[in-house]
Chains A and B, each alone.
Chain A
Amino acid sequence: MDWGALHTILGGVNKHSTSIGKIWLTVLFIFRIMILVVAAERVWGDEQDDFVCNTLQPGCRNVCYDHFFPISHIRLWALQMIFVSTPALLVAMHVAYRRHEKKRQFRKGDQKCEFKDIEEIRKQRFRIEGSLWWTYTSSIFFRLIFEAVFMYAFYFMYDGFRMPRLMKCNAWPCPNTVDCFVSRPTEKTVFTIFMIAVSSICILLNVAELCYLLTKFFLRRSKKAGNSKQQPNHEDKEETKQNEMNELISDSCQNTVIGFSS
């Protein structure tokens, strides 16, 4: 189970995202996860082995490293990316649930079901409206929160985003204040700034997507209010269909073996 598997899982969600959502997913996988895997992990690979302190006192190096790096940048970024990408699974679950209901409706031979084939249901792309809109908006909101929390945690733990070359340490068992040298500080600073910049771009994309969804919602609502008295309301059709489906489901018998119901 690695980043490739996460990509497979989330790739399915892509179909039901907005265009901004698709761009966000691409930025996440190419500019963050891929950079982490192919470049950043190597830069931080020798972070403890090459963390050198000016002392022969056994244990001083371990203790100083632990004091200055409570959790490595790489692990923080890995956790950040896992948390930031998982709200999309809420949307995937909701879509799977809707698809399941439509298949159930189709199998009962409902006349109102507009699909000719189970395959069509499987391939159908759901519009982001109704309860799916709320799920989608919540998922974006959670993404934003997780991004912000991790950026703050980063800033809080490492006092800014620059990696110093030298750190002075006097934790026990170091005999006195000891100079400790970090390996590849400039390269680490470059990658830290890069990851922070891409993180900010992702936050902007999420905010833009949230605004887009809200705007669409209000426009649709005002159109509905304007059209409501004039003609049968097609916007309500989705909710009416949903209600009918819910009724059918609550009245229905349990599944019979397929192929024998007729």
Chain B
Amino acid sequence: MNWAGLYTVLSGVNRHSTAIGRIWLSVIFIFRIMVLVVAAESVWGDEKSAFTCNTQQPGCNSVCYDHFFPISHIRLWALQLILVTTPALLVAMHVAYQQHQEKKLLVLTGHADPKHMEEVKKHKMRIAGSLWWTYVCSVVFRLLFEAVFMYIFYLLYPGYQMMRLVKCEAYPCPNTVDCFISRPTEKTIFTVFMLVTSSICIILNMAELVYLVVRACARRSQHHSNPSSGKSSFYGHKHSSEYKQNEINQLLTEQDGSLKDMLRRNSGLQEKGDRCSAC
């Protein structure tokens, strides 16, 4: 499982996202993950081996490195990217659940041919009803994770600028020792780049949140002003994913009940048959 695996998992979610969501996903994969993999990882590749302290004291180098870099930038960014992209899986799970319900309904109503099943799999879910709430939650979580990681970054490495020289006096260094960081300018450039793209992603998430809320309010006001609009057939009822869901649940429980009866009857007959065959 690597970044390519994550890309495969998340590109499925892309279909059910808004336009802003798709732009956000592209920015994440191209300007953050790809830059991390092809460029940033090689900049930080020798961060420990090229971290040099002006001392011969064994252990001083390691201790000072550990003191100034509790967690490497690269690992922090990797964690950030994983946590920020995974709320989208909530949406994927919800969509899969809805598709499963629709397929079940198709089976119950006798439309279970492969063509209809494929249609269910391919058709794009509208972001309405409970899916809207799931989607909004996922966007809120994304925002939260981004903000938390930006804050952690600021706490651990105040100023975002990588110094050329740090002064260290942790044991076993004999006194205050000069330690030199490798490639500080290049690291600063990439840190600033990743911060800027992170901010762009935060802005995109906020825009998406605002768009979803505005759309929901617009739809709601349209519904209030025009309550009889839309097809009134069971399957075509516009504003009713919950209504549809309730009906589906009802049908399913009825059918489950009758299925159970059927199974009981069948197993009863079978037992009788066994008993007869045993006679």
A residues contacting B by CB (< 8 A) are 1-3, 5-6, 9, 48-49, 57-59, 61-63, 65-66, 69-72, 74-75, 78-79, 82, 86, 89, 93, 97, 173, 253-261
Given contacts A253-B238, A257-B235, 12 further A-B contacts (CB under 8 A): A1-B4, A2-B37, A5-B34, A49-B46, A58-B55, A62-B52, A66-B186, A79-B35, A255-B126, A258-B120, A259-B119, A260-B236
B54 touches A82 (CB 8 A): no
B54 surroundings in chain A (CB, below 8 A): 57-59, 173
The interface size of chain B toward A, counting residues with CB under 8 Å, comes to 55
**A256-B184 CB under 8 A given contacts A2-B38, A78-B38:** no
Kindly name the residue among B43, B119, B120, B186 whose own CB sees the greatest number of chain A CB atoms within 10 A: B186
The reply to whether the CB of B33 lies closer than 8 angstroms to some CB of chain A is yes
A71 touches B30 (CB 8 A): no
B39 touches A1 (CB 8 A): no
Interchain residue pairs A-B with the least CB separation, the first 8: A59-B180, A260-B235, A70-B185, A62-B180, A58-B54, A1-B3, A258-B119, A256-B236
- Grouping DSSP codes into helix (H, G, I), strand (E, B) and loop, the A interface class, with mixed when no group exceeds half, is loop
- The residue that A1 contacts in the complex, of B33, B52, B124, B236, with Cβ under 8 A, is B33
In the assembled complex, 16 residue pairs joining A and B whose CB atoms fall closer than 8 Å, in A order, are A2-B38, A3-B38, A5-B4, A58-B52, A62-B180, A63-B180, A66-B164, A71-B189, A72-B183, A79-B193, A89-B30, A173-B54, A254-B238, A257-B102, A257-B120, A259-B111
Q: How far, in Å, is B92 (CB) from chain A's closest CB?
A: 19
A75 touches B42 (CB 8 A): yes
Q: How far, in Å, is B240 (CB) from chain A's closest CB?
A: 11
The reply to whether the CB of B257 lies closer than 8 angstroms to some CB of chain A is no
- The residue that A62 contacts in the complex, of B29, B55, B182, B235, with Cβ under 8 A, is B182
B116 surroundings in chain A (CB, below 8 A): 258-259
B34 touches A1 (CB 8 A): yes
- The A-contacting residues of B in range 20-55, CB under 8 angstroms, are 22-23, 26, 29-31, 33-35, 37-39, 42-43, 46, 50, 52-55
- The A-contacting residues of B in range 114-152, CB under 8 angstroms, are 115-116, 119-120, 123-124, 126
Q: How far, in Å, is A105 (CB) from chain B's closest CB?
A: 15
A1 touches B37 (CB 8 A): yes
The reply to whether the CB of B157 lies closer than 8 angstroms to some CB of chain A is no
B42 touches A74 (CB 8 A): yes
The reply to whether the CB of B230 lies closer than 8 angstroms to some CB of chain A is yes
Closest-by-CB residue of A relative to B3 is: A1
B193 surroundings in chain A (CB, below 8 A): 79
Q: How far, in Å, is B212 (CB) from chain A's closest CB?
A: 16
Kindly name the residue among B38, B54, B165, B185 whose own CB sees the greatest number of chain A CB atoms within 10 A: B38
